Structure 1
Amino acid sequence: MLICPQCKFENPNTNKFCQKCGTSLTHKVCPECSTDVPVNALRCHNCGTECGTVFWAIIAKEATGDEGVGRDEGVGEVTSPSSPSFPLPPSSEITFLDPQQRYQLLDMLPSLNNITEVEARVLDCQTYQISPIEAILGNQQSDMATPSVKANPIPSLAKLYIALQYQGQPGIPPIHDAWQQGDMQVVLIEDRSNWQLLLDLWQEETTSSLKILHWCYEMTQLWAVLEPVNCRQSLLELSNLRLDEDQTLALQRLYVESITCEPLTNSGEDAQAGTSLISEEPLTIQALGRVWQSLFRQSQRTQFGSVVHMLGDLETGKIETIAQLRSRLNEISIELEALTSETLPAINEKDTVVPTIVQSDEPEEIISKTDDMPTVVLAMQLSSLEDAGRTDLGRQRHHNEDYFGIETKIHKLELPKTRILQGHGLYILCDGMGGHAGGEVASELAVNTLRQYFQEHWIANELPTEDSIREAVYLANEAIYKLNQQDARSGVGRMGTTLVMLLIQDTQAAVAHVGDSRLYRVTRKQGLKQVTVDHEVGQREITRGVEANIAYARPDAYQLTQALGPRDENSINPDVGFFEINEDTLLVLASDGLSDNDLLETHWQTHLEPLLSSGANLERGVTNLIDLANQHNGHDNITAILIRAKVRPNLES
């Protein structure tokens, strides 16, 4: 079946367009120039941008004796004009990895006659077609929390990826497809070959010692995950240690430990990047110490004193367990924090200190140093702040009562060894009510009143206080209320507006809202989170203890309980909150024309998450959101503001 990239509807393989939303199933849009490109093309024919879906293929001889074929009959062969099956001939004639001609080889393959494994990049020529592995995983995920893979007809190597994938480990590349024929197995995983090497960033002068400690800690986490499946060897290959866009440690692939723990490659006294640090002894955490020593040596970076002692204790066996190693990392981080506070200027904790090593699902939560897990904290700074906004009439309205405003100021200082960026952003979205010449007036008046207030009162390089933000909202309410009184408007004729407002100062943010316009936050680690809670009857009943299905069964469930303008300030109580931007974040302000019917909750992975990448165009992204809302909602005006804030550590070692 073909899965629509827009609405996720399951279509027959013969469909050229989604039968639910009409999206093309044979072409995709180039992210750079918006040209329609066939799904089986590696590059855009207009601008040359690589926009094909590429996977990393691992082709190996089966060592476990597991049986089963995860494909239709005949699948598993590598096709070429002259060689239809394994072993792979060293020929450039090979075009596809499978007889269905779905996976096109992008690299030449050597023969497997004298080696046990080869790797290659492959282009998925049927991007929207669900793979057998994806189908199995999808069915099992709907049936149980942790699937059993023992009975599945899939290769043994693939089972390792599946098992680890269900532990929620972003460091392990997700599996896409796999099959087996005879003693040969093929596994396709996410292609991370172009991700940044850990060694490259380790050796940069601007990389802080705290950041290095954090990577060491992440290795201990992965070690504990990989140990039960005998894949600790994956951490001992330096070229296998990669970083994602958040500079979080990730593996390019899994390496399974052999019984004798033989090295992957011949290693010299000074191993080069990509050299395995495996001895023929059974693996212990001493191997982690040798990896860290090699990273320091190859990066030509000086080891700081406490780390020298830790590595020595690791080598001599004084540190025997992962728990002891984590405890030592914690001690070093506390010591380093103390030294940093003595040598650096005073830091406003509210502005810069955020946790990075915590055992918590919420990145904002700071765990006490008395807990078992270490609490290395890294100061963060803004590295970029971008935004885009757009409003649309919708498909059923005759006039647009939505209004928005964006004001952004960026101050940038860049020197050979210093880069400072200060961002100051005000983002306001209002959804008016009261009909033509009513709702339009109210929403525009609210935006302009708030803009003027903060132009006068937001001067210093810090966020306004909660009292100041509330005062601004009350002034906007008063401006609309006075106009209602002046025009002697009454009942439903009284104009008003919702409000959602975001203020950003560097890595600090504040949000204020009245009504049902929303703020969402998207990060790679946390996914989509709704920050605001609608001011409506149904939500009010839920806060009173009524079950959601009963609360929203009321005919007035979606009626607003608060709005700016219809009544005086005593009738409104704006919600005001503060939060830190401590990882790359996409913030979305949305009117209900965009958020209705759980539209963003359903489509955030296709329309929001990709916008976290620096190369993604926000203007195009907001246009795509408007188009999506018109396809699935369209009953109301639609307004969206997107803000992409990217951050990085700002402490130097």
Structure 2
Amino acid sequence: MLICPHCKFENPNDNKFCQSCGTSLTNKTCSKCGADVPFNTRYCQECGTESGKTWLAIITQTTSTTAQVEDEKLLQNTAAQDYLTQLNVGSFLDRGKRYQFLESLLSRENIPGNTQIIVRVLDCQPFHISPIEAMLENQPQDLVIPSLSVIGIPSLAQAYVLLQRESPSIIPEIHDAWQQDNIQFVLLEDRSNWQLLLDGWQDHNTHPLQRLHWCYQMIQLWIILGKVNCRHSLLDLSNLCLDEDQTLGLKRLHTATSTDNLPIDTENAGNPLTIKDLGRVWYSLCKQSQRTELGSIVQMLGDLEVGKINTLEELRSRLEEIATEIQPAAQTNNSTQMQDTSSPTRLQDDDWETSEKNEDAPTIILSMKLRSLEDAGRTDVGRQRDHNEDYFGIENSQQKLELPRNRNVQAKGLYILCDGMGGHAGGEVASELAVNTLRQYFQANWTDEELPTADTIKSGVFLANQAIYDLNQQGLRSGVGRMGTTLVMLLVQNTKLAVTHVGDSRLYRFTRKGGLQQMTVDHEVGQREISKGVEPSIAYSRPDAYQLTQALGPRDVNFVHPDVDFFEIREDTVLLLASDGLSDNDVVENNYQTHLAPLLSSSSNLELGLSDLIDLANEQNGHDNITGILIRLKVSPDQQSWQ
């Protein structure tokens, strides 16, 4: 089957266009020049931009476990020799002619068994779902690994599947895997363009606390990789890389049998690895980068080598002590007081839950600064309405200071989304009036460099309510003829945010650590009953469960009780303000991995991402107007606060 890249609809293999949304299944639009580019070509024929989907292919020939294994060569098997000698640029990795070589195999002769050959391949059928993708999508989590073994998926592929569930951003995505004769093939996400950890380590702008954080991440990976005998993955410095947010990742997995050229010597070849081997990786990083400015780090590595540090918990504790030494006590105290319910960026990382974790260990909260703020808004009438009662407003201002060793962005943003009700000359009037009233109010009442107080924000909401209420009174509107609107509003002051809402328009937050979170609770009958202790299934069995309990305009200020909440951004975040035309039927909850998660990357286009969301809502809802506002905030540790 062909999976549409736009709406994820499953199409027959011979379709040229998606049966659901009409998207081409044979061509894509070049991101640079806009030309149509066949999906089975690597470069745009008009401007030369690389547009094809590439994967990293790992080719391994298995060997026996007999005494003759040392004399066994990669091409000794006749079938393997006949196959591998035909592989050149332009030829195909698989018999189905899907994966085309972009480079020649090097040293195809006299390569010992179990050595991994790494090449890049072009996916000439990118919309075909691979067998392993189909199986993983439909298989219960606890049956994945046994099923992989039964159908003959290579053992290395099983390790990727297992580890991706524990730390998906650390381990490269596995796309396909199979065995042909005695040759194993695994296709992975291509991370060849990621920055090397060594380069980040030796960058003079990298603060020592950041290096300690990478060390801490390696400790957690050491634990996780031990479950699948892949700790050797951490011993190859060329295998350690950083994503755009400076988070540690691996290019691929090394097992104990695929480590021919590791640059870090282990203590005893053939014996299980120890934390001394991990310490030698850190020593090599310091030595090659000449970044050993902290005597305490050198002392820690020495103690590790001579056996004064024997457990991972002792090693973690020493890292915490060094972090406390680096970060002034005053900053630590201030940061500790700023802890809230959001996911903090910290030296001690809560992403990994292990039995060895010490819950009483001190936590160093890192002060964060805003690196960039981007936004996009769009509204659509939907497929069943003849007019649009939604309205939105976006205002932001930014000041950027960029120096060789410092980049600082100061930003203020106001984002308002309203879903009107009341029919022609009613709902659209109320929603637009609410947005404009709030815009004017905050232009006059938000002039300093701090977020407005909760009372100030509520006063603006009450003012918008009064403006609509007065129109209703002047027009002698009554009953269902009274105009009104929902409201969700976000205020951004650098990394600090405030959200207020009335009705069922929502704010969602997505981060790598926290996943998707709904930041607002709908003001409707069902939620009201749940707050009273009624079971959700019973609360939403009522015929009026989705009836609004609050809205702006129909009633006076005594009946409006906006919720106001404050939170702080401590990691890269995508925020989505959505009317119910977008959020109904769990569209966001069911599709955030494909439609929100990719938008964390700075390389993704928010305008296109929002268009995809609107189109998706039209396909799965379409019964109402659809409006969304996307905001992407990128942050980084505030090195100025560490000085």
User: TM-score, normalised on structure 2?
Assistant: 0.90
Q: Which moved more, 1:166-175 or 1:239-248?
A: 166-175
Structure 1's 243 and 94: CA in aligned 2 closer, same or farther, altered over 3 A?
same
Q: 1:106 aligns with which of 99, 102, 108?
A: 102
- Equivalence for 1:38: 38
Q: How far did 1:256 drift?
A: 0.7
How many residues are paired up? 622
Structure 1's 408 and 362: CA in aligned 2 closer, same or farther, altered over 3 A?
farther
3-state SS of 1:412 partner = strand
Where does 1:54-73 land on structure 2 (aligned, <5 Å)?
54-63=54-63
Q: How far did 1:142 drift?
A: 6.1
Structure 1's 254 and 63: CA in aligned 2 closer, same or farther, altered over 3 A?
farther
Where does 1:433-448 land on structure 2 (aligned, <5 Å)?
433-448=421-436
Where does 1:375-390 land on structure 2 (aligned, <5 Å)?
375-390=363-378
3-state SS of 1:435 partner = coil
**Is 1:264–2:261 an aligned residue pair?**
yes
Q: How far did 1:47 drift?
A: 4.0
- Equivalence for 2:225: 226
Conserved? CA contact 1:410–1:422, under 8 Å? yes
**Is 1:549–2:549 an aligned residue pair?**
no
Q: 1:596 aligns with which of 584, 590, 594?
A: 584
Where does 1:613-652 land on structure 2 (aligned, <5 Å)?
613-651=601-639
**Is 1:508–2:496 an aligned residue pair?**
yes
Q: Which moved more, 1:181-190 or 1:615-624?
A: 615-624
- Equivalence for 1:89: 85
Q: How far did 1:34 drift?
A: 4.9
Where does 1:169-318 land on structure 2 (aligned, <5 Å)?
169-258=168-257, 264-265=261-262, 275-281=263-269, 282=271, 283-318=273-308
Structure 1's 34 and 545: CA in aligned 2 closer, same or farther, altered over 3 A?
farther
- 1:252-311, Cα deviation, whole Å (9 max, x unpaired): 0011114xx96525xxxxxxxxx3444544321111111111111222223312212211
Structure 1's 493 and 523: CA in aligned 2 closer, same or farther, altered over 3 A?
same
- 1:399-436, Cα deviation, whole Å (9 max, x unpaired): 22111111101011122222211110000011111111
Q: How far did 1:362 drift?
A: 11
- 1:229-266, Cα deviation, whole Å (9 max, x unpaired): 221111011010011222111110011114xx96525x
Rounded to whole Å, the distance in 1 between the matches of 2:97 and 2:259 is 36
**AA partner of residue 187 (structure 1):** V
- 1:359-379, Cα deviation, whole Å (9 max, x unpaired): 53699xxxxx98345523222
- Equivalence for 2:116: 117
Q: How far did 1:143 drift?
A: 6.8
Conserved? CA contact 1:353–1:379, under 8 Å? no
- Equivalence for 2:52: 52
Rounded to whole Å, the distance in 1 between the matches of 2:128 and 2:293 is 50
Rounded to whole Å, the distance in 2 between the matches of 1:471 and 1:145 is 54
5+ residue gaps, structure 2: 67-74
Rounded to whole Å, the distance in 2 between the matches of 1:393 and 1:91 is 53
Conserved? CA contact 1:41–1:52, under 8 Å? yes
User: How large is the Cα RMSD of the aligned pairs?
Assistant: 3.0
Q: How far did 1:201 drift?
A: 1.3
3-state SS of 1:250 partner = strand
Rounded to whole Å, the distance in 2 between the matches of 1:213 and 1:548 is 45
**Is 1:411–2:411 an aligned residue pair?**
no
**AA partner of residue 59 (structure 1):** I
3-state SS of 1:378 partner = coil
Q: Which moved more, 1:324-333 or 1:518-527?
A: 518-527
Structure 1's 101 and 130: CA in aligned 2 closer, same or farther, altered over 3 A?
same
- 1:621-640, Cα deviation, whole Å (9 max, x unpaired): 22333333333322222211
Structure 1's 512 and 85: CA in aligned 2 closer, same or farther, altered over 3 A?
farther
Structure 1's 37 and 84: CA in aligned 2 closer, same or farther, altered over 3 A?
farther
Where does 1:483-502 land on structure 2 (aligned, <5 Å)?
483-502=471-490
3-state SS of 1:474 partner = helix
- Equivalence for 1:26: 26
Conserved? CA contact 2:369–2:635, under 8 Å? yes
3-state SS of 2:43 partner = coil
3-state SS of 1:481 partner = helix
- Equivalence for 1:268: none
Structure 1's 136 and 350: CA in aligned 2 closer, same or farther, altered over 3 A?
closer
**AA partner of residue 245 (structure 2):** D
- Equivalence for 2:561: 573
Rounded to whole Å, the distance in 2 between the matches of 1:335 and 1:508 is 28
**Is 1:559–2:547 an aligned residue pair?**
yes
Q: Which moved more, 1:191-200 or 1:168-177?
A: 168-177
Conserved? CA contact 1:353–1:378, under 8 Å? no
Rounded to whole Å, the distance in 1 between the matches of 2:31 and 2:330 is 42
Q: How far did 1:134 drift?
A: 1.7
Where does 1:349-428 land on structure 2 (aligned, <5 Å)?
349=338, 354-358=344-348, 360=350, 371-428=359-416
Structure 1's 180 and 330: CA in aligned 2 closer, same or farther, altered over 3 A?
same
Structure 1's 304 and 107: CA in aligned 2 closer, same or farther, altered over 3 A?
same
Conserved? CA contact 2:136–2:144, under 8 Å? no
Conserved? CA contact 2:488–2:499, under 8 Å? yes
Q: How far did 1:131 drift?
A: 1.3
Rounded to whole Å, the distance in 1 between the matches of 2:564 and 2:602 is 30
Conserved? CA contact 1:407–1:425, under 8 Å? yes
Conserved? CA contact 1:405–1:447, under 8 Å? yes
Rounded to whole Å, the distance in 2 between the matches of 1:498 and 1:359 is 38
Q: Which moved more, 1:16-25 or 1:562-571?
A: 16-25
**Is 1:6–2:6 an aligned residue pair?**
yes
Structure 1's 320 and 206: CA in aligned 2 closer, same or farther, altered over 3 A?
same
**AA partner of residue 48 (structure 1):** G
Q: How far did 1:495 drift?
A: 0.9
**AA partner of residue 424 (structure 2):** H
**AA partner of residue 101 (structure 1):** K
Rounded to whole Å, the distance in 2 between the matches of 1:567 and 1:3 is 48
Conserved? CA contact 2:217–2:349, under 8 Å? no
Rounded to whole Å, the distance in 1 between the matches of 2:434 and 2:297 is 56
Rounded to whole Å, the distance in 2 between the matches of 1:33 and 1:613 is 21
- 1:542-591, Cα deviation, whole Å (9 max, x unpaired): 32333333332322222111001111122121111111211211111111
3-state SS of 2:241 partner = strand
Rounded to whole Å, the distance in 2 between the matches of 1:311 and 1:442 is 66
3-state SS of 1:166 partner = helix
**Is 1:327–2:324 an aligned residue pair?**
no
Q: How far did 1:494 drift?
A: 1.1
Rounded to whole Å, the distance in 2 between the matches of 1:222 and 1:599 is 34
- Equivalence for 1:69: none
- Equivalence for 1:74: none
Q: How far did 1:169 drift?
A: 4.5
Q: 2:594 aligns with which of 606, 630, 639?
A: 606
Rounded to whole Å, the distance in 1 between the matches of 2:147 and 2:464 is 58
Conserved? CA contact 1:91–1:110, under 8 Å? no
- 1:423-450, Cα deviation, whole Å (9 max, x unpaired): 1000001111111111122111111111
Rounded to whole Å, the distance in 1 between the matches of 2:84 and 2:57 is 13
Q: How far did 1:158 drift?
A: 1.7
Rounded to whole Å, the distance in 2 between the matches of 1:201 and 1:178 is 32
Q: How far did 1:617 drift?
A: 2.1
5+ residue gaps, structure 1: 67-77, 266-274, 364-368
3-state SS of 1:134 partner = helix
